[in-house]
Chains A and B, each alone.
Chain A
Amino acid sequence: MNFELFLHYRPWLMAAEVTLIWSFVTIGLYLLSKRFHRRYKKWWTTPIIITPILLIVITLLSHTNYNVYIRGTHWLMALLGPATVAFAIPIYRRRNIIVLYWKTLSIGVVFGSILSIASAWFLASAVGIDETLRLSLLPRSISTPFAMVISGEIGGVPELTALFVILTGIFGASFGQLALYWLPLKSKLSMGASFGLAAHVAGSSKAYELDNEVGTIAALVMVLTGIFNVLIAPLLEAILS
């Protein structure tokens, strides 16, 4: 290969390097922490808590800008799209649940969505958060792609909302397990609904770990909540302004 040509393509090469290195680091850390979690089963050893902390430390130590990091690992986040599609299979397998309990499920979705938006609004007002941040916090319990659409529509910052959505998912998935253990719940329906509603994809994924049926309900409620919230977003905008 001509050396001149090689130098000429250097920016291209650097982009490839960034993608390779940071994807490798992210996937590697994820696999390691997964193995670690399998050995030491504690709520704080879950890969979604350990891996980002290690990543933040590494990016800070290597003086890497987040914009560079995300350029290299954006394709991993894009896989959330096909992952949403993949939820069709468990939902289809347990479609009889929807037919049987559609009333309870719709009550859960409507009530839970209102609770989620209202709690964010009142808590943010109580501690004195400025307007844009408060609006960005509102759609945080629905899955990322939905939440970003809604956030933009009601006057928040979609990028910030994505971060809040993910923090909510991490916390909801970890806390949900604990809460449902302590609450005197009798139905799998209620466990699945609260996982799916409060912690979207992260909650559904956690719910799958616990029980197949609970996971299915969580996934279903997550999707229904997302659609319901997109539908009420214009209404919300009218109320807020």
Chain B
Amino acid sequence: MLPYTFKKLSILIKRTFHKSRILQIALITFLWFIAQEISLLSRMPIPGGVIGLVLVLALLYFNLLSIRSLALGAEWFLAEMLLFFIPAVPAVLNHQEFFGWTGLKILAIIIVGTMIVIIGTAIIVDFSFYQLEKQSKPEKKQ
């Protein structure tokens, strides 16, 4: 009787998890919290978020966690990501020196630099993609 109840209960918990977005958000936050602690304790220069990402990939890979108990929560985090950036922007108010020449110069560097990186990366990846694709095509046919 008891193992049967236990099994039933675990199925019930799983089902609620698969449906509930809030529970999944809480689970992802909890996993991040653990990763953050690992990052602090091991004194690695790798941020907690990235350790958490690798941790979740490992959990998914070894079937310890099903993708359905995270998917809804992850969807929410990715969709509302911009909100988490916004509070950092008014920090310019703390730096009066940016309201002037230095600020314009920095803005120009960021704009021009980002354009160079976007265009450069896109071209090199596109180029190498077709080079590697050409090499691997005959292999596929064999």
Contact = CB atoms under 8 A, between A and B. Distances in A.
Interface string A152-174: 01000001101110111111100
B74 A86 contact: yes
Interface in A50-95: 51-52, 55-56, 59-60, 65-67, 69-70, 73-74, 76-77, 79-93
Given A133-B102, A183-B122, A66 B90 contact: yes
Contacts of A89: 56, 60, 67, 70-71, 74-75
A115 B117 contact: yes
Interface string B80-95: 0111111111111111
Interface of B is mostly: helix
Contacts of B29: 79, 82
A164 B106 contact: yes
B37 to A, nearest CB: 12
Contact of B85 (A80, A112, A223): A80
A166 B94 CA distance: 16
A145 B81 CA distance: 15
B121 A194 contact: yes
B129 to A, nearest CB: 5
A69 B90 contact: yes
B43 to A, nearest CB: 12
Q: Residue among A84, A119, A179, A186 with the most chain B CB within 10 A?
A: A84
B132 interface: yes
Interface in B58-114: 60-61, 67, 70-71, 73-75, 77-78, 81-95, 102, 105-114
Contact of A104 (B77, B83, B132): B132
Given A55-B86, A84-B52, A153-B45, A163 B118 contact: no
A85 B28 contact: yes
Contacts of A30: 82-83, 86
A85 B121 contact: no
B22 interface: no
Interface in A123-147: 123-124, 127-129, 133, 137, 140-141, 144-146
Contacts of A191: 122
Contacts of A70: 87, 90-91
B57 interface: yes
B40 interface: no
A185 interface: yes
B50, B56, B116 — which one has the most chain A CB atoms within 10 A of its CB? B50
Contacts of A140: 110, 113
A99 to B, nearest CB: 13
B78 A86 contact: yes
A167 B110 contact: yes
Given A120-B109, A185-B122, A190 B85 contact: no
Given A127-B108, A198-B117, A104 B74 contact: no
B115 A90 contact: no
B12 interface: no
B109 A127 contact: yes
Nearest to A152: B45
Contacts of A108: 121, 124-125, 128
5 contacts: A80-B85, A84-B52, A160-B95, A172-B117, A194-B119
